[in-house]
Structure 1
Amino acid sequence: MNAATLNSHRLWAYLQLMRPANIVTSWADVLAGFAASGSIMFLNTEGQSVLATLVPLACLLVATTGLYGGGVVFNDVFDAELDSQERPERPIPSGRASRQGAILLGSLLLLVGIVAAFQVSWLSAILAPSIAVTALLYDAFGKHHPVLGPLNMGVCRGGNLLLGISVVPAMVGEYWFLALIPIVYIAAVTAISRGEVHGTKGNTGIIALLLIGIVIAGLVGLGLLKDYKILAALPFLALFAGRVLLPFIKAVREPTPNQIRMAVKAGVLSLIVLDATVAAGFSSLFYGLLVLSLLPLSIALAQIFAVT
């Protein structure tokens, strides 16, 4: 293998560490939060107001890319020894990426995410490092705890949604509870993911399924908000329920590692549909479709890069 091929091989390994398909789902979080902030209405005007709205949105998309990418890279850093036994094909245990290189990449991504968020608002500047710290806590300690682990990961996602709302700081105080939806949802996905290697035991799958039911009920409940257009959100809600419930039910009935991986993959990618549901309700059917358009991209990337 010549030097150019070797370098290309290594770059691909570091790209795998970032889990690009998952990063796309984090964009959907920000776009949903952006809709809840009320900023979409400025995109219907002309001139400076459009630029003044799109630039902060672009900064937040860069921020979530860095924060999520850095978080998942450090996940593999902390799991390197365990992966050497259970998943030796991964970039670090296989030797295709070094642990030191992964630490450098993860640190740079988190730094980029924090700096980008500082360009938006004072609240974005607070949320970004908070998300980074929460992600590192999950990577190092949280994921090993049966209760705090799923909650920890859910808080990362909830914070990411609030990051999108933080383009208008005052709106975070009004819609802070929206973060509870991804918190509960990711808690469900993280809970069932514990059986990816050896299968799940006990009532873990049933608990995860119940949490999904709570999320669906919560999305329906958003219709009680005066600014939420439930009719625009319903098509996305139906798609979300169909995509998530079927694989989760299969995983509960047959809790094998393969079925659980399929449920986790469906759960992660369906975050985009969940976000599209929120986005459509707070803006329009068209904006919901815009967010949903990220799903084919994420699915395509998931065929190339690992999601779990």
Structure 2
Amino acid sequence: MPGPEADSVEERTADGGSRSSIAAYAQLVRVPNLFTAPPDVILGAALLSAAGLEPRPASVAGLAVASVLLYAGGTTLNDAFDAPVDARERPERPVPSGRVSRDSAFTIGFGLLLLGIVGAFVATGGPGAVVAGLIAAAIVAYDGALKGTSAGFLAMGTTRGLNVVLGTTAAGFVVLELALATVVVPAAVVVYIAAVTSMAARETEGGNRGAVGVAIGGVVAALVVLAWYLASVRPTPFGTVAAVAFAGAFVRWVGRPLRSAYADPVPGTVGPAVGACVLGLVLLDAAFAAAAGPGWAVAAGVFLAPAVVLSRAFDVT
């Protein structure tokens, strides 16, 4: 019969296994990245506000939760589809390491996508559910057949652009009913994320300076659209200051790692550049949202703090 000491060992083992399992699932969903999804939705709602429409706070909150579920489903399916490749290139990930089974990852991933669509429907009804469904379709297309192709990079960018569009359903309108400027902003997010995804696809390679250059081009394109949008909307002086401040923070945040990656394009520099660009989207969202007022910018930008804290414990890429 095991004595008290053996019982203690068993308890510690069970507790350690539980913590290991939680960590595996947190890694699977890229828990730091989840905090980059709500700022997209907040930006979409801010675009409504800047256009003179009134987004409902409860709807914005519900859509933000739905966006997190969709993002978590996307990252989970990413690892499920990539398991054979990750077994060679990233064996430490939860699925190839055996901490999460591939079947479980598929089940959880598709389940999270479904919950995201349902959550969007609860928040705004049909418009939200339709956009969430389009996001889910783009996610599956990227994670499945399109990954590694030019169409795949665009599909990934489209998921984030549609995430901004999801926020525009907070007032019961779809993006086609809004002004041109409100359509162009999500497009800028599409281009930026597509460019970053192109760089990420070659993260494990060496000598991929061209891919880093594409990501830099995505940053420049986003800033050009930001300048155009601010000139079109003509925000208040406080809104302009907030937009410039967040844009400057965005450039500083992504500029240094991108410069290092371009100078020496190896996995050790490209990986951090990808991570910085993913988290940097929060600052870009905040800069655009500032056109509706500093409060919108802060509401989006505050999500960077938990993302950065969690990125110290969990990988972003």
TM-score by length of 1: 0.90
CA contact (8 A) 2:45 2:167 kept: yes
| Distance in 1 separating the partners of 2:214 and 2:140 | 26
| Distance in 2 separating the partners of 1:204 and 1:11 | 34
Secondary structure of the structure 1 residue equivalent to 2:32: helix
Measured after TM superposition, the shift of residue 41 of structure 1 is: 8.7
| Distance in 2 separating the partners of 1:39 and 1:182 | 18
- Give the superposed CA RMSD: 2.1
2:165 corresponds to = 162
1:28 corresponds to = 39
Measured after TM superposition, the shift of residue 5 of structure 1 is: 3.5
1:69 corresponds to = 72
2:190 corresponds to = 183
Q: In the alignment, residue 288 of structure 2 is paired with which amino acid?
A: V
Equivalences for residues 114-193 of structure 1 within 5 A: 114-119=117-122, 120-145=124-149, 147-170=150-173, 172-173=175-176, 174=178, 175-193=182-200
2:250 corresponds to = 240
CA contact (8 A) 1:138 1:149 kept: yes
CA contact (8 A) 1:14 1:102 kept: no
Equivalences for residues 286-305 of structure 1 within 5 A: 286-305=295-314
Residue 200 to residue 139, structure 1, CA distance change in 2 (3 Å): farther
Measured after TM superposition, the shift of residue 230 of structure 1 is: 3.2
Select which of 208, 223, 235 maps to 1:201.
208
Q: Deviations over 1:268-290 (max 9, x none)?
A: 110110011111112x2233123
Residue 6, structure 1, aligned to residue 17, structure 2 = yes
Select which of 304, 307, 316 maps to 1:307.
316
TM-score by length of 2: 0.88
CA contact (8 A) 1:162 1:179 kept: yes
Residue 267, structure 1, aligned to residue 271, structure 2 = no
Residue 246 to residue 4, structure 1, CA distance change in 2 (3 Å): closer
Larger deviation, residues 222-231 vs 62-71: 222-231
Measured after TM superposition, the shift of residue 15 of structure 1 is: 2.0
Unaligned runs of 5+ residues in structure 1 are: 44-51
Residue 281, structure 1, aligned to residue 281, structure 2 = no
Measured after TM superposition, the shift of residue 99 of structure 1 is: 1.0
Q: In the alignment, residue 187 of structure 2 is paired with which amino acid?
A: L
1:48 corresponds to = none
Residue 208 to residue 39, structure 1, CA distance change in 2 (3 Å): closer
1:46 corresponds to = none
Q: Deviations over 1:96-143 (max 9, x none)?
A: 111111122112211110001112132111100110010011011222
Q: In the alignment, residue 40 of structure 2 is paired with which amino acid?
A: D
Larger deviation, residues 154-163 vs 99-108: 99-108
Secondary structure of the structure 2 residue equivalent to 1:38: helix
Q: Deviations over 1:144-195 (max 9, x none)?
A: 21x2222111000000000011112436222222211111110121111123
| Distance in 2 separating the partners of 1:55 and 1:64 | 14
Q: Deviations over 1:51-100 (max 9, x none)?
A: x9222122101210111000000000001111111111110111111111
| Distance in 1 separating the partners of 2:299 and 2:229 | 20
Unaligned runs of 5+ residues in structure 2 are: 1-9
Measured after TM superposition, the shift of residue 293 of structure 1 is: 1.5
1:253 corresponds to = 263
Identity of aligned residues (%): 34
Larger deviation, residues 273-282 vs 201-210: 201-210
CA contact (8 A) 2:289 2:297 kept: yes
| Distance in 2 separating the partners of 1:206 and 1:16 | 29
Measured after TM superposition, the shift of residue 258 of structure 1 is: 0.9
| Distance in 1 separating the partners of 2:73 and 2:196 | 20
